[in-house]
């Protein structure tokens, strides 16, 4: 997710397995279980990615491990960052599988790492999972897209490229089927991208899953220069529901007359109209 902005790949490269090679090296604790894990640094597990120089940094620090990246995700979820590039709908669904464990087996998971000392760990608990549910509900559905932009960058090692739209916005594209070598000949030229646009919870573009990239015709440049607006998800009605007590909701009205009239006045009016 941190490298190609997608949490699931159909045929993941070897460096994904190497980076996820987590080893349990020690454990301790009485009331709290403390696990000491060892994971390879990304700069070593995915060395091929870091040998290709970047004009602007897009990769995580080579000293980071997969656990550092997971801690970053938990931290951004805890502050409800709707514009984060570190999670998508599938990753959030994976986190919700912890619901049953949090409720029955343990209270929380805390992760310490390079940016999260023991005094301020990244935390996964019931409150965070509730936030995950709300954020996931806000992610707009993916849409079919046909858009023209200038091919600005291409990285063969991750099968990604970037296009710059007519109004200056830069969009990351993940190449699903296209030939990287063939596309590289189109660098700095206008191209037409066909695929699916994926959104962040904020409604901004996360990436385009590109099925085809080809040279753009002159009449396509102006016509397909903008991305489609997101179709925002329906409101989660459960957020508007509040539990009713003996003095709230309908119960607050039952047995009460919503006015200042006395019982005698009301009875007199009822006799008059009967």
The domain locations on the chain are 14-138, 143-223
Mean pLDDT for the chain overall: 85
* Range from 67-71, 110-114, 234-238 carrying the lowest mean pLDDT: 234-238
The number of beta carbons lying within 10 Å of the beta carbon of residue 130 is: 11
Better-scored residue on pLDDT, 17 or 254: 17
Of the candidates 68, 83, 61, the one whose C-alpha atom is nearest the C-alpha of residue 199 is 83
What pLDDT score was predicted for residue 7? 83
pLDDT confidence tier of residue 197, bands split at 50, 70 and 90: very high
Give exposure, 169-180, as e/b (b: 16+ Cβ within 10 Å): eebbbbbbebeb
- Specify whether the CB–CB gap between 214 and 191 falls below 8 A: yes
The answer to whether 67 touches 45, Cβ cutoff 8 Å, is no
- Tell me the average pLDDT across 94-117: 85
Per-residue pLDDT reduced to its tens digit, 6-55: 888 777 888 888 999 999 999 987 778 899 999 999 999 988 888 876 65
The per-residue pLDDT for 215 is 94
0.85 exceeded by the pTM?
Answer: no
Are the beta carbons of 174 and 210 closer than 8 angstroms? yes
Task: Give the other-Cβ count within 10 Å of 128's Cβ.
Answer: 20
pLDDT for res 260: 74
Q: Which two tokens stand for residue 55?
A: 């004009």
Q: Is 235 a residue whose pLDDT tops 70? A: no
Q: What is the pLDDT of residue 273?
A: 84
End-to-end CA distance of the chain: 74
Q: What is the pLDDT of residue 54?
A: 63
Checking if the pLDDT of 243 tops 80, the result is: no
Q: Give pLDDT, residue 159.
A: 86
**What pLDDT is stored for residue 191 in this prediction?**
95
Asked if residue 153 has pLDDT above 60, the reply is yes
Average pLDDT over residues 188-212: 93
Q: Can you tell me which residue has the tokens 């301020």? A: 120
Confidence of residue 238 (pLDDT cuts 50, 70, 90): low
143-223 is classed CATH 3.40.50.720: no
pLDDT range class, residue 261, cuts 50, 70, 90: confident
Query: 210-223, pLDDT tens digit by residue?
Result: 999 999 998 888 88
């Amino acid at each position: 997710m941190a490298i190609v902005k997608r949490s699931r790949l159909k045929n993941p490269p070897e460096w994904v397995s190497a980076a996820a090679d987590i080893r349990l090296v020690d454990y301790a604790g009485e009331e709290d279980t403390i696990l000491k894990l060892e994971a390879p640094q990304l700069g070593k597990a995915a060395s091929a990615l870091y040998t290709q120089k970047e004009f602007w940094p897009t990769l995580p620090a080579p000293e980071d491990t997969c656990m550092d990246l997971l801690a970053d995700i938990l931290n951004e979820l805890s502050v409800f960052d709707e514009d984060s590039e570190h999670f998508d709908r599938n990753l959030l669904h994976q986190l919700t599988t912890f619901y049953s464990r949090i409720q029955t087996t343990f209270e929380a998971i805390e992760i310490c790492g390079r940016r999260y000392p023991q005094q301020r760990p990244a935390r996964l608990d019931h409150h965070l999972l509730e936030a995950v549910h709300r954020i996931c509900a806000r992610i707009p559905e993916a849409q079919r897209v046909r858009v023209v932009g200038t091919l600005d960058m291409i990285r063969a090692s991750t099968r990604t490229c970037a296009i710059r739209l007519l109004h200056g916005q830069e969009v990351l594209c993940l190449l699903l089927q296209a030939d990287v070598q063939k596309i590289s000949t189109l660098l700095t030229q206008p191209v037409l991208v066909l695929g699916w646009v994926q959104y962040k919870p904020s409604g901004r573009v996360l990436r385009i899953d590109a099925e085809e990239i080809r040279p753009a015709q002159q009449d396509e440049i102006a016509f397909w220069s903008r991305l489609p607006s997101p179709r925002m998800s329906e409101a989660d009605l459960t957020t508007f529901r509040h539990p009713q007590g003996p003095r709230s909701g309908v119960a607050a009205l039952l047995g009460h007359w919503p006015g200042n009239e006395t019982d005698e006045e009301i009875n007199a009016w009822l006799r008059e109209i009967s």
